[in-house]
């Protein structure tokens, strides 16, 4: 008997067999949402997690990064208060206290994701690694779980590229950088995506020198017209962003790291004190026993259909582990689809659901739907509507006048997509996400009353640009003149 089968047989012999309605592997945002909803509807649920409840988002991703950014923004505000008539000061930054702030935010949220809370809901939580041993059975520790349905929600982890020398030097990822308690004199970041750029600006504002090395274009998935605002701000603040910089090798040790890069100008070296690898993420599929369960997968993730069902009809997979857009809100949306399908047998699907995303730099960069390039490729002739922040009175009062909203609309007024760069872009994009999800036309975005003065007026003003030529239309002018003669 092969060793793996022998081990499984031994565990079965001494362990407990549990039969439930739903077994969820992974207690990140998506898995927790599925487990909580299923338990609320009276289902028997087992939740398996081998590491930390709350997954990447709570412990290493969204929560700690936004807490760090919040601290960095306070430091930046102290340095830039002169425009409000307040004398600027250079903040005294206590790196350990910043660390404690970040960990405190995690601790404040953690009870919502805790074993105790989910046990109180009636969920059986097993703290062990889960692995399929056949198409309808999972082993977790000494427990053998059978279920009507399974959900794989194991998320993703940092993808560390095979750079020569990297394995021999100390480096950070998003799973370790938030444990830092000292100022990083010079942080080199490999990767110019959202994670890299957010952490670059945060550490620069907290007193570090920062160099970002990106092999292609920084923030490449977003509209370059709007990413230009973000990149300019970061460079103005002193972040050294090197695009088209291909990393050749890494060397050095604690406190002195050398990264050799190749650019159009040739080969050169960048020296720093610390190295952060933020070069993408990979799905967590190892040791899940996918082959034993008859579940197909590729390097990019587990294969699912539009209903998030794998090649094993009893098993769903959601969130980062299936590839695609890797965001917490996507995993939560997937959880809702699974609940509707598994509990209510509804034909919920991922298709046709516009997914917004936000890069939490300053200024923020937010997007939903098609970019201008995508819309032109699909529809040919389109309308592009813009409105700048500096034309908004609230933005003027806050001295937040950099940026604009950009909306892509078909010639018949159908909203195709929107991108916003500027203060609170992540909040402002939600109106466009709602409009897209409901199939609203641009006219609907002009018919609500916006309180004054608010930044949301920017969205309404952009929408009115679709009708900007109406006052000069000769037919419209003749009709108005004729109506005026009636008294």
**pLDDT at residue 2 greater than cutoff 90:** no
336-359: buried (b, 16+ CB within 10 Å) or exposed (e) per residue? ebbbbbbbeeeebebeeebbbbbb
Residues 304, 150: contact at Cβ < 8 Å? no
**pLDDT at residue 469 greater than cutoff 90:** no
Q: What is the pLDDT of residues 217-263, one digit of tens each?
A: 999 999 999 999 999 999 999 999 999 999 999 999 999 999 999 99
Q: Which of 201, 170, 172, 163 is nearest to 277 (CA)?
A: 172
The span from the first CA to the last CA of the chain, in angstroms, equals: 98
Residues 156, 243: contact at Cβ < 8 Å? no
Residue 23 class from Cβ within 10 Å (0-12 exposed, 13-18 middle, 19+ buried)? Answer: buried
Q: Which of 152, 187, 174 is nearest to 290 (CA)?
A: 152
Residue 221 DSSP label:
T
pLDDT at position 252, please?
96
Residues 55, 27: contact at Cβ < 8 Å? yes
Q: What is the mean pLDDT of the chain?
A: 94
For residue 306, cis peptide bond before it (omega within 30 degrees of 0) = no
Q: What is the pLDDT of residues 259-310, one digit of tens each?
A: 999 999 999 999 999 999 999 999 999 999 999 999 999 999 999 999 999 9
pLDDT at position 389, please?
98
Q: Give how far Cα 373 sits from Cα of 14, 221, 318, 376, 478, Å.
A: 60, 11, 29, 5, 38
Residues 310, 207: contact at Cβ < 8 Å? no
Residues 250, 275: contact at Cβ < 8 Å? yes
Q: What is the pLDDT of residues 333-354, one digit of tens each?
A: 999 999 999 999 999 999 988 9
Say how far apart CA 185 and CA 347 lie, in whole Å.
54
Say how far apart CA 345 and CA 473 lie, in whole Å.
53
pLDDT at position 15, please?
72
Angle at 140 between CA 133 and CA 294, to 5 degrees: 25
Residue 11's pLDDT band (cuts 50, 70, 90): very low
Six-digit token pair at 282? Answer: 């990979």
Say how far apart CA 447 and CA 470 lie, in whole Å.
16
Q: What is the pLDDT of residues 109-159, one digit of tens each?
A: 999 999 999 999 999 999 999 999 999 999 999 999 999 999 999 999 999
Q: What is the dihedral of CA 324, 325, 329, 334, to 10 degrees?
A: -20
pLDDT at position 479, please?
64
Q: Give how far Cα 283 sits from Cα of 35, 86, 155, 192, Å.
A: 21, 48, 6, 20
212-239: buried (b, 16+ CB within 10 Å) or exposed (e) per residue? bbbbeebbeebbebbbebbbebbeebeb
Say how far apart CA 151 and CA 338 lie, in whole Å.
8
Locate tokens 């509507």: which residue? 385
User: Domains in the chain, ordered, with CATH?
Assistant: 3-53+114-157+282-344 (3.50.50.60), 166-280 (3.50.50.60), 363-472 (3.30.390.30)
Six-digit token pair at 50? Answer: 């081998």
Locate tokens 């923020």: which residue? 364
- Could you tell me which residues are beta bridge partners of residue 149? 22
Q: What is the pLDDT of residues 367-415, one digit of tens each?
A: 999 999 999 999 999 999 999 999 999 999 999 999 999 999 999 999 9
Six-digit token pair at 36? Answer: 């909580």
Q: Reduced to 3 states, what is the DSSP secondary structure of residue 441?
A: strand
pLDDT at position 16, please?
83
């Amino acid at each position: 008997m092969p060793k793996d089968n022998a081990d499984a047989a031994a565990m079965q012999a001494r362990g407990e067999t549990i039969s439930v309605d739903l077994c969820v592997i992974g207690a990140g945002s998506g898995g927790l949402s599925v487990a909580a909803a299923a338990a609320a509807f009276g289902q028997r649920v087992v939740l398996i997690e081998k590491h930390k409840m709350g997954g990447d988002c709570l412990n290493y991703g969204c929560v700690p990064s936004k807490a760090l950014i919040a601290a960095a923004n306070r430091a930046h505000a102290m340095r830039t208060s002169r425009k409000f008539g307040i004398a600027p000061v250079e903040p005294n930054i206590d790196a350990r206290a910043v660390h404690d702030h970040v960990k405190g935010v995690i601790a404040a949220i953690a009870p919502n994701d805790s074993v105790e809370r989910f046990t109180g809901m009636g969920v059986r939580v097993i703290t062990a690694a889960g692995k399929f041993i056949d198409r309808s059975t999972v082993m977790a520790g000494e427990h053998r779980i059978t279920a009507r349905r399974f959900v794989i929600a194991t998320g993703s982890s940092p993808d560390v590229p095979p750079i020569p020398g990297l394995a021999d030097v100390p480096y950070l990822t998003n799973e370790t950088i938030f444990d830092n308690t000292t100022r990083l004199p010079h942080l080199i970041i490999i990767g110019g995506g959202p994670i890299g750029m957010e952490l670059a600006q945060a550490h620069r504002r907290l007193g570090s020198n920062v160099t970002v090395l990106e092999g292609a274009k920084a923030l490449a998935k977003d509209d370059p017209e709007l990413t230009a605002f973000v990149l300019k701000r970061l460079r103005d603040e002193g972040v050294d962003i090197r695009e088209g910089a291909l990393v050749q090798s890494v060397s050095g040790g604690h406190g002195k790291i050398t990264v050799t890069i190749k650019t159009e100008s040739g080969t050169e070296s960048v020296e720093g004190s610390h190295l952060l690898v933020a070069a993408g993420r990979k799905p967590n599929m190892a040791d899940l026993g996918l082959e034993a369960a008859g579940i197909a997968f590729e390097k990019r993730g587990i294969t699912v259909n539009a209903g998030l069902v794998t090649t094993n009809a009893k098993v769903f997979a959601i969130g980062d582990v299936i590839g695609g857009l890797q965001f917490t809100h996507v995993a939560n949306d997937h959880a809702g689809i699974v609940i509707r399908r598994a509990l209510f047998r509804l034909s919920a699907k991922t298709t046709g659901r516009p997914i917004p995303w936000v890069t939490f730099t300053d200024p923020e960069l937010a997007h939903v739907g098609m970019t201008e390039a995508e819309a032109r490729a699909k529809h040919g002739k389109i309308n592009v509507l813009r409105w700048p922040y500096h034309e908004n009175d609230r933005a003027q009062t806050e001295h937040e006048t950099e940026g604009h909203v950009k909306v892509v609309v078909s010639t018949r007024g159908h909203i195709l997509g929107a991108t916003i760069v500027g203060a609170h872009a992540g909040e402002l994009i939600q109106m466009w996400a709602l409009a897209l999800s409901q199939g609203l036309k641009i006219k609907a975005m002009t018919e609500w009353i916006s309180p004054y003065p608010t930044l949301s007026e920017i969205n309404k003003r952009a929408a009115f640009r679709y009708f900007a030529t109406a006052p000069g239309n000769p037919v419209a002018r003749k009709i108005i003149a004729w109506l005026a003669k009636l008294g």
